[in-house]
Structure 1
């Protein structure tokens, strides 16, 4: 591979290097690149690598179960009966690429009955070579590629990648991708035939052509994904990183990803998702109303997750959140997509509306449905029943501060992370720190996400203290008071100085009412009938204990970790679009 020092940079271009890859950027800004998104790309490489190992392990387990089944069948003969409770009989068939290998190494019943004496003797003697599991390669589709940097990094840094489809609707971006793919020696020999038949073609000399590791496609992102929605043509990973919202691409994405595959989604339109400035736009994009509260960045994640879940459910599929992060000016989500009727039904009970107080930001959840289990004593079978929920769950006005409620949602109310998966990604990053330019921050964010409680929304002591017009207790004092009262606490990755807890808002307010008793508020500064007056008018149900508790320090707070981004440039943010008139639907923000 060419080193950056040996590359001749043409006039009108600049050379940009990131990790193992280097690309040429035109000074005309025809293809967009945001250097701040290096953290996004590093995190994506780590998550896809971890997912690929996880998926490969699952496939190997199924393959070995299938091997045991075939071996028992071969030994027992075609008329032998297997025990009804043999769990091996329910194992799915191995991947198609292993069928030929297995048939060549384990004789079928027909070979045992009609094969030559030499073949039968070879089988009986056990000299037949046993098959070996081959690790599964997979295909990534990056629907909005721009310069192609992300696709190039995937192809070079993820070991099990078969090839990457890099797409963009812009001719200038497609030209930039082809140029950068060749620059990184990933071009191979392009052919005009279909992907499925290209590998079987040969050159004039009789040898197979070298296919490109990154295959550039110029076209509409949705059209490309819809062309891959047939089961045999699906891809294993889909990456959506658009300029703004990913909403127009989600329907196509959930259809074209394989069962158990990974869907990676970025949305940079936090002015829509995390504020109430444009509720009508948020509803048209995501089918929900945003939250006006300090935890708006977590609600943004939940709105996007709800959109993915409902989009997949239309096709009998469901999503499993693996890692969902609010980062700087965007949200980044990694979810697995599966097919399963029962899991699709559960989405109803994992979707909620929220009543959010306009004064103290207390919230009440209103689930859209409920799920009950009925266990049959005789058989042990479990039947699931799905019912509607009674409502509303909140009174007319906030019982804490007497302010009105705003309605938000529907949004995803289930877990937003898979703790085991996050732990595996963190372990991978810690073992490969030198491979990621933003490894310090990756470790910090992943550590916080791993310990994060599976409860909706967070709070900051500073905001609650502002509602009480009192001096602010330290984060440790608030955390200790909650833990001493029997509640669980954790940090939140979405906001510095934040806490998540199993306590209700009323419990949190009682902690501050106890604090006010030793740190009085000047009531002459508090207006009559104000929300603060109502908050202070109540007595705490129990006196809070602010003595330091060992569990108030979570793992992420015991070590120095870079958890929250500091502005790296003077004009820092989502960046601007590519040249005037050159960015169209299907072009990317993150590259």
Structure 2
């Protein structure tokens, strides 16, 4: 039953109707299933990103298909020419020789000729768009799965799973409400029973069970899925190992983690390490650290199975992180994982950071043939002495963060594609304005670790704060690159070192003196101020201080959507003790 032919929605007693974009769900007045309306941005972003990924995958498969067709046509032509040379034309016969530009008679026509399919016949074949399968491991109300099924054209079907019986009951109700239930069945039936493939199953196929067991069931290459969406209440860590195994080569892993109290502070370092295999840091760039800790968890999990990751889009949003990561297979790329993993020494006095990569790739040129052979080595360390080079804080006062992902966190080309899609479909997303703002900043973001805010650096110097444009101009005039960071308002990323950045503020202090009597004798600020800048900063306004995204009025950062907004309260039900997740976020 199509959505267009659905009768008017009848709202049963004890329920209320919630509508989001093209989809409708019935929410009980009790807390047996949970929906956070604030997460509409997350769902909108996910639809756009997955749709863009699916279109790129389809284009790649179509290109390969055309190349294969051309090779087949070429082989057919070569065979035809070969047959023509070997079969002499009978004297006085009017039968054309194969390969002289005319088609043969079809096989079985009585002509006795060999059936050769010509290039023209092959070219007439039509490419069938690649349809993909998506698995949402923790579906709750089913709203996200329903939206995927209705809004992503290339989707074959969605497997919507939850361990809670009340959640799956809600999903069935909502799937039927949206006209997507042509036969709700166990999502594993199609793989276990071949006869089930012939039955007409719905576009959203509901499964009640443990998410990890379901994903491990799909880990064999013959029945892997193309996209896995992990959107739990809290951490996604328990599900990542199963997820990276059940995704097809080149598939997409979408991950949400809402436990920023663990990832973005040092309140629970032991919990962060047990969940993500790394230690966080309390610094102004802690939200980017959170992204890199989760990426490292995915990367290390994938590497165990000969797979590697390519982050397409990694965002710190409101009270959670959302990542879109392509998972691929390649032993050589897996060997590079250590060189893309670092720990960071972070000074507690001035928050300067010093990266220590766990590995390095050394290229050795063969003298005989000139071939370049990569060698994988450990990395020497540590990167700092006993004291912070900038403010002389002792090493024991520094924090060690990581290991974490040190590679790119976005693919600007992919982000640009998502923006193009959004530009053409703004009316299809309720949060399109904010999507455009955040994606634009992410696309421009420099591929360097960690951002800073001028106000925080000025605080370390106990000085007045220069404007964002002043700091940006000084860095640009010195030959460094800058960008905004999506993770914090008023932030900048730069290719300059921390020492270069501090020189900018030392130059600023020369014309905006600091009252030294208000600074304690043993304060790190005195060490920072005692150094002379190696070069005087030029604060003349640079034309590139206004980034392309700054020229357009964009909503780049969160604006409180509702009073007391946040991750919400976990759902309650009779199956609460066995529930993995009741969140539809």
1:222-371 pair list within 5 angstroms = 222-371=212-361
Aligned partner of 2:498 in structure 1 is 505
Query: How far does residue 589 in structure 1 lie from its aligned partner after superposition?
Result: 2.6
CA distance in 1: counterparts of 2:247 and 2:331, whole angstroms: 17
Aligned partner of 1:567 in structure 2 is 560
CA distance in 2: counterparts of 1:191 and 1:590, whole angstroms: 21
Aligned partner of 1:55 in structure 2 is 57
Aligned partner of 2:87 in structure 1 is none
Higher Cα radius of gyration: 2
Aligned pair partner of 1:26 in 14, 25, 28: 28
The C-alpha deviation readout for 1:278-317, integer Å capped at 9, x for no partner, is 0000000000000111000001000000000000000000
1:429-468 pair list within 5 angstroms = 429-468=422-461
SS at match of 1:6: coil
Scaled by the length of structure 2, the TM-score of the pair is 0.91
The C-alpha deviation readout for 1:487-521, integer Å capped at 9, x for no partner, is 00000000000000000111111111111111111
Aligned pair partner of 2:203 in 200, 203, 213: 213
Query: How far does residue 540 in structure 1 lie from its aligned partner after superposition?
Result: 0.7
Query: How far does residue 200 in structure 1 lie from its aligned partner after superposition?
Result: 5.7
CA distance in 1: counterparts of 2:442 and 2:207, whole angstroms: 35
Query: How far does residue 579 in structure 1 lie from its aligned partner after superposition?
Result: 1.1
| CA contact 1:290–1:296 (8 Å) conserved in 2 | yes
SS at match of 2:314: strand
Q: Unaligned stretches of 5+ in structure 1?
A: 81-110, 203-207
CA distance in 2: counterparts of 1:147 and 1:119, whole angstroms: 64
Aligned pair partner of 2:37 in 23, 31, 35: 35
SS at match of 1:147: coil
| CA contact 1:122–1:128 (8 Å) conserved in 2 | no
| CA contact 1:241–1:588 (8 Å) conserved in 2 | no
Aligned partner of 2:152 in structure 1 is 158
CA distance in 1: counterparts of 2:366 and 2:56, whole angstroms: 34
CA distance in 1: counterparts of 2:66 and 2:5, whole angstroms: 43
Query: How far does residue 26 in structure 1 lie from its aligned partner after superposition?
Result: 0.8
Scaled by the length of structure 1, the TM-score of the pair is 0.90
SS at match of 1:263: strand
1:115-130 pair list within 5 angstroms = 118=111, 120=113, 123=116, 128=121, 130=124
Query: How far does residue 370 in structure 1 lie from its aligned partner after superposition?
Result: 0.4
Aligned partner of 1:8 in structure 2 is 10
Aligned partner of 1:195 in structure 2 is 190
The C-alpha deviation readout for 1:312-371, integer Å capped at 9, x for no partner, is 000000111000000010000000000000000000100001000001100000000100
Q: 1:127 to 1:259 in 2, by over 3 A?
A: closer
CA distance in 1: counterparts of 2:461 and 2:5, whole angstroms: 60
CA distance in 1: counterparts of 2:69 and 2:521, whole angstroms: 77
Aligned partner of 1:172 in structure 2 is 166
| CA contact 2:364–2:373 (8 Å) conserved in 1 | yes
Query: How far does residue 563 in structure 1 lie from its aligned partner after superposition?
Result: 0.6
Q: 1:470 to 1:112 in 2, by over 3 A?
A: farther
Aligned partner of 1:472 in structure 2 is 465
Decide which moves more: 275-284 or 548-557: 548-557
Query: How far does residue 381 in structure 1 lie from its aligned partner after superposition?
Result: 4.0
SS at match of 2:532: coil
CA distance in 2: counterparts of 1:430 and 1:520, whole angstroms: 48
CA distance in 2: counterparts of 1:420 and 1:522, whole angstroms: 48
Query: How far does residue 79 in structure 1 lie from its aligned partner after superposition?
Result: 12
Q: 1:242 to 1:79 in 2, by over 3 A?
A: farther
SS at match of 1:320: strand
Q: Unaligned stretches of 5+ in structure 2?
A: 83-103
Q: Report the number of matched residues.
A: 556
Give the aligned CA root-mean-square deviation in angstroms.
2.3
CA distance in 1: counterparts of 2:384 and 2:121, whole angstroms: 70
